[in-house]
Amino acid sequence: MTNERRPSLGAIFLTVTLDLLGFGLVMPFLADEARTTFHSTAFVGTLLSAVYSLMQFLFVPVWGRLSDRVGRRPVLLWSIGATALAMGGLGLGLAYGASIGWLFTARIFSGIATANLGTASAYIADVTTPKDRARGMGLIGMAFGLGFILGPALGGVLASVTVNGRHGAVACFVAAGLSVVNLMWAIAGLGESLSRERRAFASNEPRRLTPLNIDAARSAFLRPGVALAVLVNFIIVLSFANLDQTFRFFNKDLFGMNESQTGTVLAFVGVAAAATQGGLVRTLSRRIADVALLRAGVLLQVFAFAGFAVAPDFGRGMLFVAGGILAVGNGLTQPSVAAYVSKCADPNAQGSTLGTNQAAASLARVFGPAFGGFVYGAIGPRAPYVAASIGMLIALAVTGALRSDGSASIPAAVSSET
């Protein structure tokens, strides 16, 4: 191996956690700051999230395929360092009242830099056996949860600290600082997970590192079960992303909540998600098939989004009830669908296949916030959540076509240096 440090699930877990913590910091204020300080519409505010996800859609497959050739570690190190620069640029734009175009530029670069979850998923696939894959993928889910526990809560508090009379800059600077800490940690503690032999195999493949590699996606979709699982994940994320940037509008307009209070609700969701993915999934995955966990999670999210839609009739407490159900449901679906795709993937193309899955999810995050922002302004505050509940019902119907034993005949990935 090119790096003497041994691959470590703990190292990749901390790396992803710190990366996502920076992302979570901006959730309680960015879209609303664009709407108020920069005088944009709700739709334009949500587009800041949409362009971020568009860049992830374009570049997740690039970094996934590149990591199959050069290794996971160098790709992850580059992405972490670039994230620090992007968040610092966003903070400067907020602090000095730059144009809305500056904010979009910063989010575009940030999306390119953080398109590393497919690579992180491939890292976990490298060092786990198929039997333990769902539990390994649960670490990424737990990292998401922790990012959403501390990120929104801290971001909500820091958003109240002004720079030049403007909100949000301090949170962005903290996010940039966390990325610097993340980079230092990764340099010191993140070993390479992909063996030299498997990198050499991938290097013999045609060097197509364009963002949209139709051949790579077609190759992944030819594997039994992959295309359908990616479709299910797309529908789930598309529905979930309705909440992504409209939640702050929803809390402020209908409940009169400030950034810190919005961050508290999101932090609660993060706690429940972390407990689900870091504990419940790791236990249930030993006894229950990935598809069964996936279906249960989708069903819970049907009820969760319906709960958000009726929350104004019941009060703030309903936000926590619906948020808790949503966290458990999403906590079940994300590691389960990633594990299912990984088990169905070609062992020599884990990065490419999981990158394709993450790219589809990023594409859903492009349309989800934009759609949510549009219907929020055009129809009303409840519309994004009604639409999300319907979307989850569609996803539940599609999961009926997934075979619980769909990966049984797929060759087991060779665990590298486990």
Q: Of 44-58, 62-76, 139-153, 323-337, give the lowest mean pLDDT range.
A: 139-153
414 pLDDT higher than 50:
no
Q: Would you state the pLDDT for residue 336? A: 84
Diameter of the chain by CA atoms? 61
393 pLDDT higher than 80:
yes
Range among 100-109, 184-193, 203-212, 328-337 with highest mean pLDDT value? 100-109
How far apart are alpha carbons 79 and 77 in whole angstroms?
6
How far apart are alpha carbons 233 and 235 in whole angstroms?
5
Which is more confident, 319 or 264?
319
pTM: 0.72
% of the chain exceeding 70 in pLDDT: 87
Which is more confident, 155 or 139?
155
Residue where the block lists tokens 């590149």: 66
* Residue 21 Cα distances to 14, 83, 153, 403, angstroms: 10, 12, 10, 35
Q: Would you state the pLDDT for residue 172? A: 92
418 pLDDT higher than 60:
no
Instruction: List all residues 6 or more positions away from 301 whose beta carbon is below 8 Å from its beta carbon.
Output: 236, 239, 240, 325, 326, 329, 330, 333, 388, 392
Which residue segments constitute the domains of the chain, with CATH numbers given?
Answer: 9-193+215-399 (1.20.1250.20)
Q: Would you state the pLDDT for residue 330? A: 86
Give the tens place of pLDDT for each residue, 103-150: 999 999 998 888 887 788 888 888 777 777 767 777 776 777 677 677
Q: Would you state the pLDDT for residue 25? A: 84
**Cβ proximity of 232 and 360 under 8 Å:** no
227 pLDDT higher than 80:
yes
Which is more confident, 184 or 160?
184
